[in-house]
Amino acid sequence: MLRFLTAGESHGPALVAILEGCPANLLLSEEEINRELERRQQGYGRGKRMKLEKDKVEITSGVRAGKTIGSPIALRITNRSTELFDKTITRLRPGHADLAGAVKYNQKDIRNILERASARETAVKVAVGAIAKKLLAEFRINVFSEVLQIGKAKNKTEWKKAIDRAAEEGNTLGGIFEITVTGAPVGLGSHVHWDRRLDGNLARAVMAIPAIKGVEIGLGFGVASLPGSKVHDEIFYSPGKGYYRATNNAGGLEGGMTNGEPIIIRAAMKPIATLKKPLKSVDLVSKKVCEALVERSDVCAVEPAAVIGEAVAALEIANALLEKFGGDAVEDLKASYKYYLSRLA
């Protein structure tokens, strides 16, 4: 079973993670992880911090001579931008965790909330997800993403203009992205318990990405307005091909399990909550009316959110793969997987 924990603050010394459960003998390098970190920093509409941070991972345990050794893998990403860490903040920001977190943890300085609630934490999550993607690639399971919409614009040629307009107005934009997983065999996940249903685990993982407000699989909310005859994917069989579908409205998941079709997940991201033209708010300490705090922020971050989506989806798929096929070493996992595929054939 794969499980991981992250720690660290947005402007603190570093972000760190420990990943447990990765099988031994998986080839892994810092360079491979850094490529995913670089992808997370790309995208039109990113803020000034992306020019300050050049995310590089340091693997501090669990890998020797370029291979995993079966013990927990520890990762560290050093923060270059730390100058704001000691700055006290009391002006609450609508759309952030500031107010709820300050009340819950009895804080008078919302820096103690926003530092951990920041989407900066997703950098180390992408690093962990990169390891999961590397493991899945050993089984020809690939995870990739695509941005479908920025604001109201669904045409790529309009996206930059929409982001530029929002920037000029001191505003921000959200959007929709899609994650696709190909090559997953039939039978990952399970119908027998709610917490083993893969669709539920994937939805939870994607929904937990900061600023995500909606997740759908396959046709998603579209199924509510269609009759069953237009929703459910008919099943066919041929001796050379086996079972197959002509459509994939289910998004590759039925009964909490993969059905052999590509897994399709879409997510809706809200606009970034920090606006250059700040919204009205209240000071946490004085309770006086004020404008919300403005610190460095993006105008639009849908493209990096899609990369983060890949990472968390890969972690859930890899966990389901390990749950089904077991093995403390990659070779054992492959042997079990090979037997399963022969049984299906």
Q: Which residue, chain included where needed, has tokens 């390990």?
A: 322
The total of other beta-carbon atoms located within 10 Å of residue 181's CB is 25
Q: How far apart are CA 310 and CA 304, in angstroms?
A: 10
- The residue among 241, 250, 269, 265 whose CA lies nearest residue 317 is 265
- Number of helical H runs and strand E runs in the chain: 9, 16
Both tokens assigned to 92? 């609450």
Confirm whether residue 241 is marked as ligand binding: no
Confirm whether residue 165 is marked as ligand binding: no
Confirm whether residue 40 is marked as ligand binding: yes
Confirm whether residue 117 is marked as ligand binding: yes
Confirm whether residue 64 is marked as ligand binding: no
- Residue 45, sorted as left (phi over 0), alpha (psi -120 to 50) or beta, turns out to be left
Confirm whether residue 69 is marked as ligand binding: no
- The residue among 133, 119, 52 whose CA lies nearest residue 316 is 133
Confirm whether residue 274 is marked as ligand binding: yes
Q: How far apart are CA 7 and CA 17, in angstroms?
A: 6
Confirm whether residue 203 is marked as ligand binding: no
- Ordered DSSP codes for 111-130: HHHHHHHSGGGHHHHHHHHH
Confirm whether residue 270 is marked as ligand binding: yes
Confirm whether residue 271 is marked as ligand binding: yes
Q: Residues marked as binding for NADP(+)?
A: 40, 46
Q: Residues marked as binding for FMN?
A: 116-118, 255, 270-274, 296
Q: Residues marked as binding?
A: 40, 46, 116-118, 255, 270-274, 296
